[in-house]
Each structure stands twice: as C-alpha cells, then as structure tokens.
Chains A and B, each alone.
Chain A
Amino acid sequence: MRVSLRWLKQLVKLPSDIQALTSRLDLTGTAVDAVIPLGDGLEKIVVGQIVERERHPDSDHLWVTKVDVGNWALGPDGQPERLQIVCGAQNFVAGDKVPVALVGAILPGGLTIKKAKMRGIESRGMNCSARELGIGSDADGIMVLPAQAPIGLPIAEYLELADTVLDLEITPNRPDCMSMLGVAREIGAVYDEPYGLEQRFAEPPRAGQAADLLSLQIDDAVRCPRYTAQVIRGVKVGPSPQWLVDRVTAAGARPINNIVDVSNYIMFEYGQPLHTFDLNTLVADSAGRRSIVVRAAAAGEAFTTLDGVRRELDADITCIVDGNANGGRGATVALAGVMGGLDSEVSDQTVDILLESAAFSGAHTSRTSRKLQLFSEASARFERGVDPETCLLAAERAAALIVQVAGGSVCADVLDLYPAPLQLPTLKLRGQRLAAITGAPIPLAEAASILQRLGCTVTLAGSSGSAAGTPADTPADPAAGAPADPAAAAEAASLDVIPPSFRPDLTREIDLIEEVLRIWGMEKVVASLPGGRGRLGRQTLEEERRQTIGQSLRACGLNETMTYSFALDGDVEKLQMGFAADEQAVQLINPMNAEQSELRRSILPGLLRSAAYNLSRGVADIQLYELGAVFMIGESEKLPREPDHLAAVLVGSLHPPAWNQTARAADFFDAKGILDCLLDQLHIQKTRYLAVADASLPWLQAGRAARVMSGKRELGWLGELDPRVAKKFEIEAAVVAFDLDVQALLNASQAMRAYLPVPQYPAVQRDLAIVVDDQVAAERLEQVMQSAGGALLADVRLFDLYVDEKRLGAHKKSLAFSLEYRAPDRTLTSEEVEKAHEKLVSKLVAATGGEIR
C-alpha cells in the first residue's frame, strides 16, 4: 500500500521526523517496506519564459526559441543569458512560462539533456511536456505554466511535486489499512491524535430516479453481501484536474480520465473499490430500464476483461451480468471485485454512468484472482474484506466528486441491496487475561483507550458508563467506583468491546489483546523466561547415534551435503533401480519443473549430479555424503513412508597429492574401510559384506558390489558404480558409492561394549602364506582360521595379497596372514603355539584346498 505523506498529512497529524514515524509504524505492526521520495530526479528542470519564438529555417514544424531561465544560464559577463532551445511543440506562444530541462538534467524516463544541434541549429535544453516530467499523461505539447510562475524556480518546488511515499506492508488481517483513511486512523491510534477526511465535496445537483433506469438483483448473498448503484448522468469525460492526477499517481495508479480517476481516488481514500459502467452500453428492456444481476458465472462461459484478454470462467467466479442482454438471458459485464469488461468501460463518449459500490466475498475474489492470474487494487481489497457498512458513504462521496470534476447530475435515489446486514459481536476483554497473555502490566484503562482509538466501542463491564465515542473521548476508568483493593479490582475487571465494522478480524478476546499489545508497545514488555516445572532438555540415544554417524564419516574424510528431495522420474531408470509394488514414487501435482516431478526414492542420483557438477568445474576429488529422507508410497496409501538413508559417493583421491603422499583414486576398499569405521563407531556387530552375484544391484559394477550386513540384517549396499551408469550421469571417472538404511543402522547399533581385561601375558606371532584358487574368499579363510585356532588365536590379520600367474599359476592367489596366539592366564610355551598353529594350518589346507608357501 503506497501512502503519500502529503496526502496523509491532510487526514492526521504526523510527526515531523519521518524516520520516527516509520520506525513507530514498524513497531506497531505496519511494516514500512520502502520510503520513496517523489519529485527527486527533477533537478535542473526549472520554470523558464519563452521570450522569442521563430520558425526553424529548415523545418516547417520546429521552432527556435529563446528562453529566460534566470540565473541558471549566465553569459561570459556573468549576467543572465537567454538559452536557445529548438522545440517541436505547437501549443505555445512567446511569453509563455514552461518547464525547461537544462543541459545535464535527467528526465524521469532516463533521457539526459545534452547540448545538441537540431537541423543545424544549436539547442541548449528542452521545453518539457507533463509526460516528459513524469507527472501526467499529456504529451500533446509542452506544459504551459500559469503566467505568475517565478522564472528560475525549480519545477519540483513550483509544482510542489516533492512528496514522500511510504510503501506499507499491510498484513492480510487488516483490510482497514488498505486505505488512506485506515492508515490515518492507525496512526491516530498510535499517536493518540484525531483523524478524519479533509475535503468535503459540495452536494451535487440531483435529477431523476435511478430506480426508473435500473434494477438490481443479487442471486447469492454469500458472494455479494451488499450491492449499491448510483446513476450519474450528463458527465463529460476528460482529463482530471492536477490535484487528482497527483493523488492517484502518488498512490501508484496511472491517471486515465476524470471518471476512472475519481473511482480510484475514492478507493485509495476509503478502501472501497468502485466500478463505473457506461450505463448506455448495458441493454435496456422495452421500458428503457437496465438490469444488473450478481450471480455465479456459468461453467464454460467466456468473457473479455478490459485488458482485452478473453477468459474462461467457471461457477466459482462471480459475475456482474447485464440482465437484459442476450434476449434476456444475460451477459457478463464484469468479474465481481476483480475487473470490468471491455464493452462496458467508460470511454470518451460516455455520458451516463452506473457507479457500483459493493461488497464481494473475499474467498471468491481471492480464488478468482489466482485462477485467472488477475490481481488488481480492487481484488486486493475485496480479498481482505471490504466493509459493507461504508459502501454507500464511499459511493456518495464518489458521485459528488464525479460531478465536481466531470459535471452532470446524480439521481436522487440510490439502489441498495443489503441482504445480510453485518452483525457486530460484543467481545469481553478480561484484565486478568490481558495480563496473563502479555506478561505486561497494561492498565485496563489504557487498553480501553487504545481500543477506542482503533474505532471500537468500549464499555467497562459491570458499570453503566459507556466509554464509546470518538477517539478524543476520555476512556472509561476501570478503577472508578472500585472496591478497596484496586489491584484485585483491575484483575477482576473487564471491558465489553464492540469492534468497528471495518475490523472483521476482531472476533475474539485474543484479537483485542493483540491490538492492545501492539499499540501499547511490544518493546515495553519486560523479557522473562518460562519457569515451567518438570521438563528436561534431553538428547535421545537415537539423536546421539545420528550425530555419531556424521562424526564418523567426517572423520573419514567425507563431506556432508544436501541435495533436492525432488527427483526426475528417469533417475531410478538410469540406475535400473527396482522397487517393490509398495515402493512407488510420490508424484507432485504441481512441480516447479519436469526435473522435480516426484520425490526421490534414492539419494544416489542427487549425489551423482553433485559429483558431475564438481567434475565439470575441474574438481576431481569428491567425497560427499548425505543423510536424509527418501519417499516411497504404496498403491492406495495417502502418506508415504519416509525412511532416512545415508548415501555417499567417492570420486578421485581421498587426499590431495603431496610431496610425502601419493594421490590414488578411491576404490571399493576405501569405501569399505569407511563403512567399517562407521559400523565400529556405532558398535554394530557381526558385520559382513556379501558379494552380490546376481543382478539385483544393476547400477553397480558386477563383481564390485556387496550387501552390507549385520548378522542376518541387511543394512545397505556398497560398490563401484557401473561405468555405463556413471556415464548416464555425465561422469567418466570411477565412482564408489554406498547407501545404508539409517533405521537399520540404528537398530543394529549396540549399547556400549563391556570392558575386557587388557592382556597380561605376551602374544606369540606366526605368519602364514597360503596359495588358493582365486574363487576362495578371504572371508572364508579367516573363518576357517578363527574356528581352527580356537581360544588361543587372538587375532588374524591379512597383510599381503599376491597374484602372479607365472609363479603361482592361473587363477591362483597368495594370501599372507599374521596370526597372534595368546592365552589370558599364562605365557604360552612354544610347544603349545606350535601345536595350535600346525592344527590351524592343516585344517586350513584341508578346508580350502590351498597350499602353504
């Protein structure tokens, strides 16, 4: 909402310091989005007098003028000098005073005035039209100023263009502040100052009866609680007077003609949107009467709004219909509360006007605006709710002003349908409740005063004295006639409050408390902390373990990232990821774009996109993980499951190359090592990595894929991405990835391990190297050793893996293990160790068909 301070000053007393005003408005709930100075940007444009006017020797439409601009142009002798300016306008004579843009001026349209030659004649400035100054639409000629305009005075000063406009953010609950009057009232309430309309317009001449010319009908009172129509006849449509132009311009509208400008002016002033029809474009019946019907649009009906766009309507849209048109079937002439029609709009030929001042349903207006993408000053007001009680006042004021600026006369009667008159509630405001909610000692008398200033009728409950009246009235004194304990009396006291008709948001006690608090001042409330009993801020075990997950991965060099929850439906196809029937994707009805048409079922595609993003920018070493939800839904389910997953991708080296470290592309075992660390930190036991022989993880390279298990529970998968899949995501490098189900991790996570005694006796180490078929898994060897080694075998560690076709034979590998034997209660003798080791070796050879090297 744009508010001209020059205008506002006429309605309420303003503090002289604008900054104090704006910060007070901020602190009382009317945010000031911007402070816009007007009339700036007209520097170097001054009042000049044309002293000579001669034909341009080489043009039949240009004039060469000599212009006196006072001290703005000085000759070499320091004396004022006349400027020679070439001018194309025809509407002036020598002696006229005009706005002159001097060399160096920048016009509001952005044009910079320079010294120029026009058809060979030097020109040192420009005589301006109103449009060129951005203060009107008249571009037909230069702006001729009154003869008494002082030469040399800056034009902004002369035309009093200097104004400041506040751009106010009006919250949706405050329809009343969508008007100058409402803002004046708000400021009046804040500063405890009277407010009111400044100008009264003369009572217009009356002639004829509107009822003879027009009939009204409302089909649905919910859509239109009130409709009033005035008829003004014999107007002359033309440009508005300057003051009217200034005001509608300051409010942000474009001046159009005197009729439209008046309806805009009253809307800005009162907050009541008005619509003017050219009465004679409506179809008359045989008796010469016109008919207006407010009804639902027919589904499939189309209508051309005054912006020239033809629009499809539906039954939720409310129309203003010319009831006689179409042989009595009716034709839409306006979309109620949103926009008028092209055919019935006021034009230069219009003589008779139907002035509509109505209240339309906010909900319908809001839906219509959004559906048609049509947002207007009118719809913004109807959406919030227009006060049906003031429809008539606004219309009367508009009619008087129309006659003042466009002539004609107003019909003696007003057509007014008000099927469901507004019922105002009486609300109770308890002093004790006010104190409890605000936590501040606001005297009830002050609350009463604030509410009165905002337009409420306030009575001290239990007392007969009404505190109602104008804001200047003294509010009720809650302590008057109170019993002995004034504090207790104040606590027990309450107010009966009838909100004004323009405040549909005030329906409950809490609404009143809010009003009192914001005007009294939130900044005056002394801060405290809740003193509640019996609560503890706790971190659950699950929250703690989730933190452990992040900490472990970061310690291993992975970087946490965040990707979109949205996905492309082709993502999982690229991965050939299969899902069960009850793992469908959640589809968006209104995605922002096709790439975000559903919710992800896997984090992997997002991470792969991030990897590609990095690679395309020359970042080759990538270690990313994300912990977040994926979304899957069953066939006829309303809400999806949202299991959290933990996914990671590794590309390139974990460490940058350095003088003392070689960089090496991360592989399967880097990722596996990271997982080992993670699972260990979570105290997950019996972890196993199962080779995936089938094609159940088709996005992973065959032979480099594993399922991550804890006992029989599957936690997720790990592997190197199939290069063909990686390529689909525009990644040429090798990618290692894993994905774990977070809930499965948390479920497998064990409580803290119990203490085991630190070994007291020395261990004996034996190494062994065995050559086996390369089909024999390392895990198998380890299992056999663990079981064969019995209680004495304390540790098995693989320290070498060796493949050499020439020395070992085809499909053979050599694994070397370091074994540690130890007893908890004694130092082992070499005989004992030898015996155990021999047994282990023979069992190992027998079980695996291997050969000891």
Chain B
Amino acid sequence: MKTIDELAEAVLPRIAAAKDTAELEHLRVEVLGKKGSLTALLRGLGQLAEEKRAEFGQAANSLRDQIEERLAERREHLAAAELEKRISAGALDVTLPGRTNTVGSQHLISRLTEEIVNIFRGLGYSVEAGQQVETDYYNFTALNTPPDHPSRGLQDTFYVVDRSGAQAAISGESDVVLRTQTSGAQIHVMEKQRPPIYILSPGRVYRRDVADPSHLPQFTQVEGLVVDKGISFADLKGTLDYFCKQVFGAERLTRFRPHFFPFTEPSAEVDVSCGICHGQGCRFCKGTGWLEILGCGMVDPNVLGFVDIDPEEYSGFAFGMGVERIAALKYNVSDLRMLLEGDMRFLRQF
C-alpha cells in the first residue's frame, strides 16, 4: 500500500505541474503505459499474498482512475491554453493586400450598348444587327435620302470597290458603302417581316470624319424602329423619355426639338437636361442646360412605301443615337479616340 501512496504522491503533483500536453502525454506513458510504473505495480499483483491482493488491486485501480481523471482535466486545460496561444500567434495584418484575382473589364461602348439594348428589350424590342458594308440602296435610297444629298458625297461617306462590275447608279464610282447608319438593317427587316415591328439595331457605323476628341470615323449607333397600328408621336415621346430616364437617371428631363431627317417626318432631336447644372446652364452643356443625345421621328410614309407597307394602315417611329456620344456625356470621356486605343489604363477603369 505504501508503494501506491508513494506513487500517488509522486505523480499527482507532476500532473498538476505539467507545462504542456506533450509533457502530460509523456507522464501518462511513464505511469500508465505498457512499461508504466502503475502498470508495473498492477502486474506485480500476482506475487502478492492472496489476502492482500484484493485490497492492493482496489487501491491501484482507484489510483489509475484518479490519475486518468487528473490527466484529462489537465489535458483539457492545457489544450485550451495552447489553442489560445496558437490563435493569438496566428493574428494577421488584415490590411495586407489580398491575393489578386484580376478580372477583366467590358469595353465602355459594348457595355453601354448592352445596357441600351436591355432597356428596349424590356419594352418588347428585338435585336437585328445587319451588315456593315451595305449597298447605297439600303443605306440611303430606301431611307428616303435624295440622290444629291450631301451625306452621299465622297466627302462624308466611305465607298468601297464594287467587285461585281455593276455600274454605279448614284454616286459615281460605286454603289457599295460602309454604312453611315444602322437603319439599313431596319429596311431589311421591313422587307421580310410585316408589322408589328419593334426592333433595335446596334452596330458599327462609319463616317468620313477625321478622328479628334469629339469625332471618330468609326463609331457605334443604336437605332430603333417601331411599325404598328396606331403609333403616334406621343408614343415616340413616351418611349424616348422612358429611355433617357433609364440611362441618365429618373430626375433628368427631356425635350424634343423639331429637326429634319430624310428618314422621318415629323422629325426631332432629343435633348436631356444637363446632369451637372440640372438645366441651369454650365460649361458642360455650353450654357444651354441641355445635352443633345439622339435624333428621331415618325417613319416617313415614303420609307414605308419602299418596303410595301401601307402608310395609311400602319405608322411608326424611328430613333437613332450614337453610343460614343452617350458615353462621353455619361462618363465625361474627354477624348473619344481613347475608345479605340486599347490603353489598358483606360479600359481597366470600367
């Protein structure tokens, strides 16, 4: 019995004093392991006298239980402390930069085009893109542009070599042009499809302007066309007013100024109120309080005539806008040429 008491006295303080879980484990093996001191005592049980065995055995087992209990307690305590220590050692400088996952950007013009298309999709329009190289007929004639209209001149429109060998009917060298507007696509649609027609034609167009901060020889247009029964100028106003508010903000106002386009009559230019001065007049809007953003009008009956739609039965409206212009106004892009340079520092901003 003495040995058990001695063992208890030797081990229990050491459990309480163990500094970490490793020392504790070491101690456990030393006492309770296969060659442990308590294990040895229990093994020596057989050599004891019969009458002492039960008592000794009971005492040894009770000590083992006690040691195990103490070990568990101590282990839990030490493990908690160690975890605590690990956590506090693992503190990060959370202000260090994160691991970069560089995502690319969408080009401003395609993003804006998508935005515009989505607004009109919500109003029930479908997209008809069309060809960029067009015949003079679809770019001009069918859009009611008179044969001598200045826009048809070599000064304003890019002409391309007609390899078919056909004689140019209108403008001297060729009847094939880089489209100056996407409206040609609308003529193609009207030839194939009967009203109701609600279409949107986004795409690249070309005009012979020298590239400078506010002009590009190649830019992006979105044109819309509606032909249906009972379409009026009031519908055109409502549509474009809704569009401008969607693109520029609900607080913006629109105004319609009568204008002239061969394709439409009555025609109008649409201004949106200046977002900087809210119509008071500032440098951004050149003191007018308004920013011109698109042209529109009721489809000229001649145009419906070209595609064999009865203008007495159907009426319609059409509108067209330059996406670069809207981008310049919305994002304050000061030089449109940036849009075609592919400067990473510019592209990454959007």
Are B161 and A587 in touch, CB under 8 angstroms? yes
The smallest C-beta distance from A6 to any residue of chain B, in angstroms, reads 23
Contacts of A136 on B, CB cut-off 8 Å?
none
Name B163's contact: one of A511, A599, A621, A635 (CB within 8 Å).
A635
Contacts of B125 on A, CB cut-off 8 Å?
537
Is the C-beta of A631 less than 8 angstroms from some C-beta in chain B?
Answer: yes
Is the C-beta of B342 less than 8 angstroms from some C-beta in chain A?
Answer: yes
Is the C-beta of A286 less than 8 angstroms from some C-beta in chain B?
Answer: no
Contacts of A624 on B, CB cut-off 8 Å?
342, 344, 347
Known: A171-B259, A533-B196, A629-B132. A658 touches B343 (CB 8 A): no
Interface residues of B in 140-161 (CB under 8 A from A): 147-150, 153-155, 158-161
Are A614 and B161 in touch, CB under 8 angstroms? no
Is the C-beta of B298 less than 8 angstroms from some C-beta in chain A?
Answer: yes
Are A639 and B258 in touch, CB under 8 angstroms? no
Is the C-beta of B345 less than 8 angstroms from some C-beta in chain A?
Answer: yes
Are A438 and B235 in touch, CB under 8 angstroms? no
Known: A363-B148, A560-B347, A635-B163. A437 touches B315 (CB 8 A): yes
Is the C-beta of B217 less than 8 angstroms from some C-beta in chain A?
Answer: yes
Known: A530-B239, A610-B342. A517 touches B233 (CB 8 A): yes
Nearest B residue (CB) for A657: B100
Is the C-beta of B133 less than 8 angstroms from some C-beta in chain A?
Answer: yes
Are A29 and B257 in touch, CB under 8 angstroms? yes
Contacts of A638 on B, CB cut-off 8 Å?
135, 162-164, 166, 176
The smallest C-beta distance from A606 to any residue of chain B, in angstroms, reads 8
Are A437 and B131 in touch, CB under 8 angstroms? no
The smallest C-beta distance from B5 to any residue of chain A, in angstroms, reads 53
Interface residues of A in 648-704 (CB under 8 A from B): 654-656, 658-661
Q: How far is the CA of A532 from the CA of B197 in the complex (A)?
A: 10
Is the C-beta of B165 less than 8 angstroms from some C-beta in chain A?
Answer: yes
Contacts of B231 on A, CB cut-off 8 Å?
530, 532
Name B102's contact: one of A363, A528, A530, A557 (CB within 8 Å).
A557
Is the C-beta of B204 less than 8 angstroms from some C-beta in chain A?
Answer: yes
The smallest C-beta distance from A140 to any residue of chain B, in angstroms, reads 41
Known: A532-B228, A613-B343, A622-B344. A588 touches B150 (CB 8 A): no
Name A174's contact: one of B104, B148, B161, B260 (CB within 8 Å).
B260
Q: How far is the CA of A619 from the CA of B226 in the complex (A)?
A: 46
Known: A553-B104, A559-B105. A437 touches B260 (CB 8 A): no
Contacts of B149 on A, CB cut-off 8 Å?
172
Contacts of A566 on B, CB cut-off 8 Å?
217-218
Q: How far is the CA of A599 from the CA of B218 in the complex (A)?
A: 12
* One of B28-36, B68-76, B106-114 contacting the partner: B106-114
The smallest C-beta distance from A749 to any residue of chain B, in angstroms, reads 18
Known: A527-B238, A562-B339. A439 touches B233 (CB 8 A): yes
Are A589 and B161 in touch, CB under 8 angstroms? yes
Using a Cβ–Cβ cut-off of 8 Å, how many residues does chain B contribute to the interface with A?
A: 94
Is the C-beta of A440 less than 8 angstroms from some C-beta in chain B?
Answer: yes
Is the C-beta of A296 less than 8 angstroms from some C-beta in chain B?
Answer: no
Is the C-beta of A754 less than 8 angstroms from some C-beta in chain B?
Answer: no
Known: A510-B265, A525-B233, A565-B218. A530 touches B226 (CB 8 A): yes
Name B232's contact: one of A436, A543, A619 (CB within 8 Å).
A436
* One of A83-91, A143-151, A590-598, A835-843 contacting the partner: A590-598
Are A550 and B106 in touch, CB under 8 angstroms? yes
Are B165 and A588 in touch, CB under 8 angstroms? no
Contacts of A510 on B, CB cut-off 8 Å?
265-266, 298, 300-301
Are A532 and B150 in touch, CB under 8 angstroms? no
Is the C-beta of B221 less than 8 angstroms from some C-beta in chain A?
Answer: no
Nearest B residue (CB) for A530: B235
Nearest A residue (CB) for B130: A642
B-facing mask of A344-384, CB < 8 A → 1, else 0? 00000000000000000011001100100000000000000
Nearest B residue (CB) for A613: B341
Contacts of B211 on A, CB cut-off 8 Å?
592
Contacts of A609 on B, CB cut-off 8 Å?
342
Is the C-beta of B120 less than 8 angstroms from some C-beta in chain A?
Answer: yes
Contacts of B101 on A, CB cut-off 8 Å?
655
Is the C-beta of A494 less than 8 angstroms from some C-beta in chain B?
Answer: no
Name B103's contact: one of A31, A543, A554 (CB within 8 Å).
A554
A-facing mask of B230-253, CB < 8 A → 1, else 0? 111111011101100000000000
B-facing mask of A135-165, CB < 8 A → 1, else 0? 0000000000000000000000000000000
Nearest B residue (CB) for A533: B196
Q: How far is the CA of A538 from the CA of B131 in the complex (A)?
A: 21
Contacts of B217 on A, CB cut-off 8 Å?
566, 592, 596
Known: A439-B233, A528-B234, A592-B208. A562 touches B161 (CB 8 A): no
Contacts of B162 on A, CB cut-off 8 Å?
638
Is the C-beta of A423 less than 8 angstroms from some C-beta in chain B?
Answer: no
The smallest C-beta distance from A646 to any residue of chain B, in angstroms, reads 13
Is the C-beta of B222 less than 8 angstroms from some C-beta in chain A?
Answer: no
Are B266 and A517 in touch, CB under 8 angstroms? yes
Are A437 and B235 in touch, CB under 8 angstroms? no
Are B343 and A619 in touch, CB under 8 angstroms? yes
Q: How far is the CA of A31 from the CA of B101 in the complex (A)?
A: 51
Is the C-beta of B319 less than 8 angstroms from some C-beta in chain A?
Answer: no
Q: Which residue, A171, A535, A539, A611, has most C-beta atoms of chain B within 10 A?
A: A535
Is the C-beta of B263 less than 8 angstroms from some C-beta in chain A?
Answer: no
Name 7 A/B residue pairs within 8 A (Cβ), A-sorted. A31-B269, A528-B235, A550-B110, A565-B132, A565-B178, A624-B347, A638-B163
A interface residues with partner B (beta carbon < 8 Å): 26-29, 31, 171-174, 362-363, 366-367, 370, 436-440, 508, 510-511, 513-514, 517-518, 522-523, 525-540, 543, 547, 550, 553-566, 584, 586-592, 596, 599, 607, 609-611, 613-614, 617, 619, 621-625, 628-629, 631, 633-640, 642, 654-656, 658-661
Question: Assuming A514-B265, A522-B266, A537-B122, what are 9 further A-B pairs, CB within 8 angstroms?
Answer: A510-B265, A510-B301, A522-B256, A523-B256, A562-B342, A589-B160, A590-B154, A599-B178, A642-B132
